[in-house]
């Protein structure tokens, strides 16, 4: 019964978000309903929704998955070694939206639940998720708004939650090999079990329900701003950093691939186009330089 409650919430969240984004973009999402073959070690099903080459979003992917496996992979038990190798279920909604306009930031949001049953023990539930913003050109107004909504979503769960999860986000979405943040952060939490099942579900619901309020006003402000090839080129270059983080450091990507998940759905977070350059520099005082000096650093935005 508890699993069904989470599943119903997550599938409803996915539908609310994709229908809203589709109306804004004027483009329908392609809906791909999938099911793992019985011969595969990981069983389950899901719904991947993807929008590509729209006027507002170059690529917007939002996926729901509900999978079961015989053995938790190492990426899921870093903080719970007692559950290493236990059979598990995992449910979640994950999205990444890559806008067409370089002045609109890329956004990521994920809410999920894992349940594992160790040998001879009771089922253990824990929750995780969050959202973060990756701008290509920085705007103070946008950063303050995004973090204000994040703080408000967490306020009912204690005054300590936003500072704690904001710091966790800053630490997690960090490219160690570049010594550089991925973006301006947001909130991130994992292995949450305060208040039991009800407390965890309430937290991921608050985060999921606040996503559109956090992101859509920014899209509205920036999506019609004129831009040139210079801004587009910088956007593609910075998208390369996004790819690097997802493939090298992201625990969610590692969990999906290590557990035998559906590769096409796992990698839907990748941008359709990205670029790399050798020792690229920015001109002092330029908007591109401002991104590094004023936004890609740990700041208290609210």
User: Which pLDDT belongs to residue 69?
Assistant: 83
Cβ distance 167 to 188 under 8 Å?
no
* β-strand partners of 96: 61, 108
The answer to whether 59 touches 255, Cβ cutoff 8 Å, is no
CA distance 145 to 12: 25
What pLDDT sits at residue 280? Answer: 93
* pLDDT value of position 99: 98
Does residue 39 carry a pLDDT above 80?
A: no
Respond yes or no: is residue 254 known to be catalytic: no
**Residue 246: both structure tokens together:** 């997802």
Q: Which CATH superfamily is domain 2-295 in?
A: Coproporphyrinogen III oxidase, aerobic (3.40.1500.10)
What lies within 8 Å, CB to CB, of 247 at 6+ separation is 253
The tokens 């290493």 sit on which residue?
A: 84
Query: Over the stretch 115-128, which tens digit does the pLDDT of each residue have?
Result: 888 777 778 888 99
DSSP string of 78-91? SS-GGGTT--EEEE
Give how far the C-alpha of residue 99 lies from the chain's centroid of Cα atoms, to the nearest Å: 15
Q: Find, among 39, 188, 44, the residue nearest to 115 by Cα.
A: 44
Domain segments of the chain as ranges: 2-295
- Given a cut of 80, is residue 58 above it in pLDDT? yes
pTM (two decimals): 0.92
> Which entry of 108, 145, 147, 254 is annotated as an active-site residue?
108
Out of 84-88, 179-183, 195-199, the most confident range is 179-183
Tokens encoding 145: 């708004």
At 252-266, the pLDDT tens digits run 788 778 777 778 878
Nearby residues of 226 by Cβ (< 8 Å), 6 or more positions away: none
Q: What is the CA radius of gyration of the chain?
A: 19
pLDDT confidence of residue 183: 97
């Amino acid at each position: 019964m508890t699993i069904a409650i989470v599943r119903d919430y997550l599938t409803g969240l996915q539908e609310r978000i994709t229908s809203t984004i589709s109306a804004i973009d004027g483009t329908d999402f392609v809906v791909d309903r999938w099911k793992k073959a019985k011969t595969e070690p990981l069983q389950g099903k899901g719904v991947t929704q993807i929008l590509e080459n729209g006027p507002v979003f170059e690529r917007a992917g939002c996926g729901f998955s509900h999978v079961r496996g015989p053995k938790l992979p190492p990426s899921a038990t870093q903080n719970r070694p007692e559950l290493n190798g236990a059979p598990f279920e995992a449910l979640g909604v994950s999205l990444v939206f890559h806008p067409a306009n370089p002045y609109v930031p890329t956004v990521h949001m994920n809410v999920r639940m894992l349940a594992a049953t160790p040998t001879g023990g009771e089922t253990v539930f824990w929750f995780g998720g969050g959202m973060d913003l990756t701008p290509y050109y920085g705007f103070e107004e946008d950063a303050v708004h995004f973090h204000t909504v994040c703080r408000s979503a967490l306020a009912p769960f204690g005054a300590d939650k936003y500072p704690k999860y904001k710091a966790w986000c800053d630490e997690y979405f960090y490219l160690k090999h570049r010594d550089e943040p991925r973006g301006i952060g947001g909130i991130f939490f994992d292995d949450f079990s305060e208040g039991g099942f009800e407390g965890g579900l309430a937290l991921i619901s608050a985060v999921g329900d606040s996503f559109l309020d956090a992101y859509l006003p920014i899209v509205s402000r920036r999506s019609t701003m004129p831009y040139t090839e210079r801004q587009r080129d910088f956007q593609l270059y910075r998208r390369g950093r996004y790819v690097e983080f997802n493939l090298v450091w992201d625990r969610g990507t590692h969990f999906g691939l290590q557990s035998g998940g559906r590769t096409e759905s796992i990698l839907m977070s990748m941008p359709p186009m990205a670029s790399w350059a050798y020792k690229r520099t920015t001109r002092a005082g330029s908007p591109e330089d401002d991104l590094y000096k004023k936004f890609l650093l740990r700041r208290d935005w609210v």
